[in-house]
A and B are shown apart, each in its own frame.
Chain A
């Protein structure tokens, strides 16, 4: 499982980096900006009827909020995975004993090789 995850993550990094080599000239503008251009070609007289309530004053501030958003999410994911890892390493039984509410423990659903050994 772990090895597979590492391979998958490397693949993701490759997918993100390859374009930078592939398209050396490209500016990598946001696709939404390109859509704006297309709209102005199709309907040159269209005026947006509403402005953003608040705009980040600079691209730095915008970057701050994007990073904040990603950081908050990644922080929670890391916390949760760490919690699971900690629980697992504190004795195998623990995780299975917790009542699931349906009266079924994980073992009833997925019987892996590991759990068989403990029976």
Chain B
């Protein structure tokens, strides 16, 4: 039931918000106030759900705590590494795909929110006023795309490894597509409107992001391989839960 509600929320969000895209996070003060507040409101229910899920993990599955820390640390590392891209500009990956696959989109929304707050306060990267919008693109849109894709991929028979690669890569791209969309909504082209602006912002963000997204996919697989190799206990209970659901 809860799951259905969540899917409904994300689908509604996806339909109401004409798909958006942008490469790195939206800069401080660069969203009109109404937009900033709107994105914040859109993100709050997911953060609340994610907070509750994290509390549940900590109390009921203490063996997954370290894994949760790992997912957060992975986001920390990947979103700190600005990498050069084939387009001659730089951007950074997000790292949310892994946590979305392991813990679901709501938990990774919370983790993304923490990282984005760190960057907004200490690095002047992103911003406080744009925190809601950035958390939406990275933590909600990116991780929902990754989580959904992983479910589909494993259901149609792909291995977990391939599923994680696909999920992390597409989740990364989705984040920046949504960022472009958010900017296009805020700054429609004077002649062509939102869509022309969207295409322009995609040109900056999404294309730069493609090689980085592939990097993120590969790195997520490396982490998964290592976990599986050492037969990590938290991972075992997560997959066990998944199997239980299928029955």
Decide if A116 is an interface residue (CB 8 Å cutoff).
Answer: no
Decide if A119 is an interface residue (CB 8 Å cutoff).
Answer: no
Tell me whether A54 and B239 are in contact in the complex, defined as CB-CB below 8 angstroms, given that A18-B86, A69-B76 are known contacts: no
Q: How far is the CB of A94 from chain B (nearest CB, A)?
A: 10
Q: When the two chains form their complex, are residues A69 and B118 in contact, meaning their CB atoms are under 8 A apart?
A: yes
Tell me whether A31 and B24 are in contact in the complex, defined as CB-CB below 8 angstroms, given that A42-B190, A51-B29 are known contacts: yes
Q: When the two chains form their complex, are residues B76 and A73 in contact, meaning their CB atoms are under 8 A apart?
A: yes
Interface residues on B, range: 35 or more
Q: How far is the CB of A106 from chain B (nearest CB, A)?
A: 4
Q: When the two chains form their complex, are residues B229 and A1 in contact, meaning their CB atoms are under 8 A apart?
A: yes
Q: How far is the CB of B80 from chain A (nearest CB, A)?
A: 4
Taking beta carbons and an 8 Å cutoff, which residues of A are in contact with B? 1-2, 4-5, 8-9, 11-12, 15-16, 18-20, 22-23, 25-32, 34-36, 38-39, 42-43, 46, 48-56, 62, 65-67, 69-70, 72-77, 80-81, 83-85, 87-88, 95-96, 98, 100-102, 104-106, 108-110, 112
30 A-B contacts, Cβ less than 8 Å apart? A1-B228, A8-B219, A8-B221, A15-B214, A15-B218, A19-B84, A25-B88, A28-B89, A29-B89, A31-B23, A31-B204, A32-B125, A35-B26, A35-B27, A35-B204, A35-B205, A42-B200, A54-B122, A69-B77, A70-B77, A73-B72, A73-B76, A73-B80, A77-B74, A98-B233, A100-B233, A100-B240, A101-B60, A101-B237, A106-B233
